[in-house]
Structure 1
Amino acid sequence: MSDFEMEAIRTVWDAKGWFTGQENTTAFVSNVCRLFPGEEGLVKKLFLPRRAHFRLATKKDGTCALLGETGCLLPQEVRPYYCRLFPLWTVGRQIVALGPQCLAIREAKTITRLLDSMSMSKAKVFDLHARLRLAWGLPPKSGDPVVTLRLQREK
């Protein structure tokens, strides 16, 4: 989670206790590298060993501390980019689904239906992914939408 994403959450909620630091373990860095194939060298420079990154805090049962009975307690526009995208991701110019165990993926069966169920367009997925890259310190990819990091209220 980037400083920008944490600051966005702070604009709507007293953020004390919502974030926690976590060590950049080998397993964590390996997982991030899988999300950005071909950019492993850059990922390893961004997430150095024995350093830490921030993530959302979790409850004792492992669920997100900001997850309520009806879903995320945060307004859509301030949720971390990864949360807004999940279970979607981009690989090149393709949109793919992460985590086949995800109920939304199993129920939707196709990316088109999954996008519809999330009220998400393909353009929005690419926009959010480009913003995530920028927030996490990765440069824009060729073909990515031109984005900046500023809080955008959803319409």
Structure 2
Amino acid sequence: MRTRLIVFVFLLGAAAHWTNEGTDHTSDGWNAQQVKIPTEKEVRDNARKLMASFDRALRLMDERVVRAYVSKDCDVEYCDGNIVKGACHYHMTDLPAHHAYNFKVEKATETVEKMIILVNVTSKYYDDPPKTYPLEFTYNKNTELFCYLRYLTC
């Protein structure tokens, strides 16, 4: 009888181990293999697509289109330390139509809620020589809105 009990407990333990094999026992109960972490290239490609769609909205110069992309509530931190509430909404919706813009993605980081994109913006105004300056954008995936995070140079 005792031998049967030992064999039964052994088989029960083996069955439990077999059913849990390959499962990642994380604190939230999810199998870590189910979560796909994007590669750096995928993140940069996604950032490029986002900036291209944003650039198209700017080229259309329809304030309603641009407004759909840009948050009214974002705070812009200028490089001199001043923070201006709603400044990105003002700048983005009031860009003059005779400006030409080019966004080059330098770096991008992605979380579940947002993507932060460091871009070099080249701006051309009529016959003036083009100016290039770095800007940091954030894209909120839940609201699908862009915002300047900050100017990186004055």
TM bucket, shorter chain = under 0.3
Bigger-Rg structure (1/2): 2
Which structure is higher in strand share? 2
TM-score w.r.t. length of structure 1: 0.22
Taking CA–CA contacts closer than 8 Å with sequence separation of 6 or more, which of the two structures ends up with the larger relative contact order?
Answer: 1
TM-score normalized with structure 2 length: 0.22
